[in-house]
């Protein structure tokens, strides 16, 4: 894998996160957004905060910064506040990816095995895909019309 390949995969990651926000999360009623759900980390709000927080924590480690704590979804409250923070996290991720080189992919994050840069980048992508799949299933269970997130469909220009 190359740095350019990771940038391409992260464009897919970012675009699907925004699509979920814009098309599915923002139109939800407040009740459905906060509704307790028995799977994973709970409500749609909790899913959103969790994915954003984990992305932020891993990329802080990649940048050599102090890791933020684990986020309490109640602190963020409203969707606009969560989305504003999410957008800021994405912007920092984009900044990091802009400076990424092929040579740096095999470096150790914070000097710790097994966390090579490429493994961390791959983990964040897989974690995001897992939670998007969870959110899509949860939203579908709430009666929301959802759609696939297949990378192959992205390559074919269908999403």
**CA separation for the pair 81, 94 (Å, rounded):** 20
pLDDT single digits (tens) 96-127: 999 999 999 999 987 777 899 999 999 999 99
What is the model's pLDDT at position 108? 92
Greater confidence, 112 or 67?
67
Cβ-count burial of 49 within 10 angstroms (0-12 exposed, 13-18 middle, 19+ buried)?
Answer: buried
Residue 156 sits at φ, ψ, to 5 deg, of -85, 0
Cβ-count burial of 13 within 10 angstroms (0-12 exposed, 13-18 middle, 19+ buried)?
Answer: buried
**CA separation for the pair 73, 123 (Å, rounded):** 22
Domains in the chain and their CATH numbers? 3-155 (1.20.120.450)
Angle between helices 44-62 and 79-99 (to 10 degrees): 30
What percentage of residues in the chain have a pLDDT greater than 70? 100
The answer on pLDDT for 43 being more than 90 is yes
First to last CA, the chain: 23
pLDDT single digits (tens) 10-28: 999 999 999 999 999 999 9
CB 48 within 8 A of CB 81: no
**CA separation for the pair 24, 49 (Å, rounded):** 15
Note the pTM of the prediction, 2 decimals. 0.92
pLDDT single digits (tens) 24-42: 999 999 999 999 998 888 8
Closest CA to 59 of 8, 106, 110: 110
What is the model's pLDDT at position 40? 82
């Amino acid at each position: 894998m190359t740095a350019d390949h990771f940038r391409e995969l992260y464009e897919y990651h970012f675009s699907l996160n925004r699509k979920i926000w814009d098309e599915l999360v923002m139109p939800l009623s407040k009740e459905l957004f906060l509704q307790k759900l028995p799977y994973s980390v709970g409500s749609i709000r909790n899913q959103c905060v969790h994915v954003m927080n984990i992305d932020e924590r891993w990329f802080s480690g990649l940048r050599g910064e102090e890791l933020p704590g684990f986020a309490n979804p109640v602190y963020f409250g409203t969707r606009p506040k969560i989305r504003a923070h999410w957008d800021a996290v994405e912007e920092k991720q984009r900044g990091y990816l802009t400076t990424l080189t092929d040579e740096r992919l095999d470096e150790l994050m914070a000097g710790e095995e097994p966390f090579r840069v490429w493994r961390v980048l791959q983990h964040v992508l897989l974690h995001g895909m897992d939670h998007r799949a969870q959110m899509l299933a949860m939203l579908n269970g709430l009666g929301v019309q959802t759609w696939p997130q297949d990378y192959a469909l992205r390559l074919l220009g269908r999403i």
